[in-house]
Structure 1
Amino acid sequence: MSQAALDSLIRMAPVARKSAAEMVVEKLLELIYSGSVKAGDTLPTEQELSAALQVSRPVIREALRGLQILGVVETRQGGRCSVTDLKPSRLAAPLQFLVGLDHDNVEALYEARLTVEGELLALGAARADEAALEHLEHMVHEGHRLTTDPLAFRVMDLEFHHTLMRLAGNPFLERTAQSLYHIGAEVRRVASETPGVLTNSAREHELILEALKLRDPERARRAMHTHLASILRTTREAMQQSP
């Protein structure tokens, strides 16, 4: 970080005592958004940041940990933090660590998945290459074979959905979709052990593949919406079984 950027940080208003670490995060992000601090730049020391923002060093450490989770900074040899390459694959925060699934937000989660994964699949129907479709076809066949093995099916399901997310070639949407997929994984584990659930999922995977092979975006979108509606229903049922 240049001296000019550090001077800009000092000129900012001191951080309020309430939510101090969050305020530090916001101020550091402002410097990055403005271009004062660029990808690869080394940040000032904890002591320098503490003095500039008039907060304690533990607050600075908490803020830097938050920025590491977000993929904005990383620790280099010697303990100094620097700005990452800021690539899209880093910057979508791992939502599964930040948001938990409960009865109050399950509808919102699946609304988000419908929006993101439905549109991703519609884009993917036009953009998927033959190698990806062949890989999906192999997993569809495996899915029918694995309906009596919930653990193996869940491993296959993860790869199936991640492959679908990559078809469009949009790293921002892909990372967002992956994060949403992982929220509530434990509840879906319970759901996957319910008789008939995996057989239905395997058939819905097949319908998704059929739409992709036809290069039909609207049909692909509808197939994903049908699949996610089934997942929402079985997720609700599994949550009702939980204490």
Structure 2
Amino acid sequence: MQRRSAQAVFAPLRHSPAYRLLSERIERRILDGELKPGDPLPTEQELAESFGVNRSTVREAIRLLEQEGLLVRAAGRRLQVALPGMGSLAPRAMRTLVLEAVSFRELWEVGVTLEPRAARLAAEHATDADLAALDENLARTEQVLARGESYIELDVQFHALVAKASGNRVLMLAREPVSLLLAPSFERLRLTLPQAGRRNLEAHRRIVDAIRRHDPDEAEGWTLRHFVDFQRGYRVADLDIEAPVEWPQPGISSFPAATTETEETP
């Protein structure tokens, strides 16, 4: 019997580029708490000397960490450790879902589970500031509807505000990519069914009223009805619930830029 060569048995070892290894080392120090949000990062020269690499390697590692939202440029262009905002985390999951060609149905099945739960928790934990933000969203939606403009971004923001009021950060992160990817589907529904806007606003008002009264059953129930109505409208409009979702239009976000403090670069 012919023996296989060592080359045939063992695949060659592959090493990550030095800049990626350095990026992982710095990321580990951040995750371990050695470097905390707001802490300044050592200079390029200090990092190069500490890790025994050249400055170009350091610059590439820093670029990766900035893309991940773990580093931002502070005053004087000095790098500091940052807490990634929602907008920094959701796009990676969204890209995967779009490339997997997930359908409206799949997203809706998750949304109809997470959003009612968020509303229930919001009714239990919402603060006066949370309610003020929700009231402002309702008022702006009313104005946009009166002008006949798209209210989709305000709808996305409404559900993000409810999730924020829940006080559960894991829930906020879990629902974010699903909510953003449902936006194009909702826009198609808006263009097909003129009555969708008013029905949407009325449901939002009912949800906020239940949250204000600290009635978790009502808040959860109205959110569930709201999402069931969403799917029903999709069928009435004869839209394909199995069609792959699309990337949302530019500018769609869960929170206005001015209120997303963790995403701004000082």
Shift, 1:228, TM fit: 3.1
Mapped to 2, the partners of 1:47 and 1:70 lie a distance apart of: 22
Mapped to 1, the partners of 2:140 and 2:34 lie a distance apart of: 51
Q: Which runs of 5+ in 2 are unaligned?
A: 1-13, 247-266
Give 2:223's aligned amino acid: M
Larger of the two Rg values belongs to structure: 2
For residues 133-212 of structure 1, what are the structure 2 equivalents within 5 Å? 133=131, 136=134, 140=138, 151-170=149-168, 173-174=171-172, 177-178=175-176, 180-195=178-193, 196-212=195-211
Give 2:188's aligned amino acid: V
CA distance 1:79–1:217, change in 2 (3 Å): same
Secondary structure class of the residue paired with 2:15: coil
- Relative contact order: is structure 1 or structure 2 higher (C-alpha 8 Å, sep ≥ 6)? 2
Shift, 1:125, TM fit: 0.6
Contact 2:19 2:61 in 1 (8 A): yes
Contact 1:96 1:180 in 2 (8 A): no
Secondary structure class of the residue paired with 2:35: coil
Cα offsets for 1:147-170 (capped at 9, x unmatched): 575634235424433432332345
Shift, 1:192, TM fit: 2.0
Alignment match, 1:68: 66
Contact 1:113 1:180 in 2 (8 A): yes
| Higher mean C-alpha deviation, range 44-53 or range 179-188 | 44-53
Q: How many residue pairs were aligned?
A: 225
Q: Which runs of 5+ in 1 are unaligned?
A: 1-15
Contact 1:70 1:92 in 2 (8 A): no
Contact 1:132 1:163 in 2 (8 A): yes
Mapped to 1, the partners of 2:213 and 2:90 lie a distance apart of: 33
- Percent identity over the alignment? 19
Shift, 1:73, TM fit: 0.9
Mapped to 1, the partners of 2:112 and 2:20 lie a distance apart of: 31
CA distance 1:176–1:92, change in 2 (3 Å): farther
1:31 aligns with 2:29: yes
Alignment RMSD: 4.4
